[in-house]
Amino acid sequence: MMARRIVLADQVAIMKLSSVLQIAALTATAAAKSCLTRRPTISPSPYQPRLPIPNPPKRHKVCVVETNGDGVTDDSEHILTAFHECNDGGHVLFSKDETYTIGTAMDWTFLKHIDIDIQGRILFSNNTDYWQANSFRFIFQNVTTFFKLGGDDVWIYGGGTLDGNGQIWYDLYAKDIYTLRPVLFGVDGLHNSVVSDIVMRYSPQYYHFVANSTNVIFNNIDISGFSKSKNVAKNTDGWDTYRSSDITIQNSVINNGDDCVSFKPNSTSILVQSLFCNGSHGISVGSLGQYPGAFDIVEHIMSSNISMHNASDGARIKVWPNAPAAMSGDLQGGGGSGRVRNITYEDFTIDNVDYAIEITQCYGQKNLTLCQQFPSVLTIEDIVFRRFRGRTSKNYQPLIAAFACSSDKVCGNIEATGIDVLSPNGTHQAYCLNQDETRLDVECTDLYKGVN
């Protein structure tokens, strides 16, 4: 009888403990849910994307990412655990006021039907030897990424920060231009997804590389990260799209040192709008035609309502010639083919920009005579620039723009209207080569200034 009473007492104790643990778990879940960020509302302006904005149901399961808490020890295992546990219907939380360190290259292309709520700070380690050996490589130029994000129906938001620890990379690249610098936010095969309300700082190279993706919206992204040493942060493009369609980039602030947005090969149906770009190389098609035997396509691009400040270019199309050329030791090419078609740049505010508009089929080739001897075979047609206003820098005055086609046989139907842009000394001139000058709202001249 005594033994039976002991067993019953143990069972009661176990039941009480189980109840306490269940209550604690429910309390923890409720506390986590109370800390979740509300999914942001996406308001496109002035244009709507071609495809519907993703609008998935609310996720119910919550996974809080654990952290070692010291800002140094690798938290990658904790991150992968949370992603797997909450994949296909959950909400992952990176807690506010926490720093999560990533020191391992991770493949996140398995994600689906998931919200990733980044409220804290994600910091990539400064182990440059590891990242050069293990980051994910793409076949275009020298692109590598810390991680690969892919899948379907992924929402990322929360107001937190991704920090690429870029300073060590800026200094390393100054010593060795063949250093493989990772992209901060690498996308490979992402569909029907939204990235919004994220701060990005100190990327080693591009801030975003978006490859093999469809119907993705980037909204309210805050980009900045200049070098604190004499070594400039180079190639820090805001976004590069590659082999992707129906990508929308909008409502964002970009302070960087290279293209604000660049459309790389096989970028189609891209909408870029309502951006503030400072210190950049403009909104750029290309560079294209870099690789012999490759056929590059960029078409159906709309770029609207752009505020461009302290930049080398406002709107730019850059194509390699049909002969070898070298932009730098680690960037060279020429001889590829393809087409650029149906590109519209409109409503640009120009403030201290070297060229408000630039078209060149001589990218990387400083010898214009040689470039014309070997004209690009990549066609450029149906290009519209309209409603540009503001002032250029004094760098190329009296020129405000350059419309340079290496041949009128592969480059035409280019129109520029409402170009209310002046140089500091009040001129409205543009270098025009192989153009129908009657369709350009500038004063054409054969004077050329600048380096391709």
* Catalytic site positions: 281
How distant is the alpha carbon of residue 417 from its chain centre? 29
* Nearest Cα residue to 389 out of 346, 339, 349: 349
Angle, vertex CA 50, rays to CA 45 and CA 440, nearest 5? 70
CB 145 within 8 A of CB 155: no
CB 154 within 8 A of CB 114: yes
- What number of CA atoms fall less than 13 Å from residue 136's CA on the CB side? 19
Q: What pairing do the DSSP bridges indicate for beta strands 337-353 and 295-309? A: parallel
Tell me how far CA of residue 43 lies from CA of 40, 53, 363, 442, in angstroms: 9, 10, 36, 35
Residue given tokens 């804290």 in the structure block: 120
CB 152 within 8 A of CB 110: no
**Strands of 132-207, DSSP E:** 136-137, 144-145, 147-157, 161-163, 182-183, 185-201
Provide the phi-psi class of 243: left if phi over 0, else alpha when psi is between -120 and 50, else beta: left
Count of positions (residues) in the chain: 452
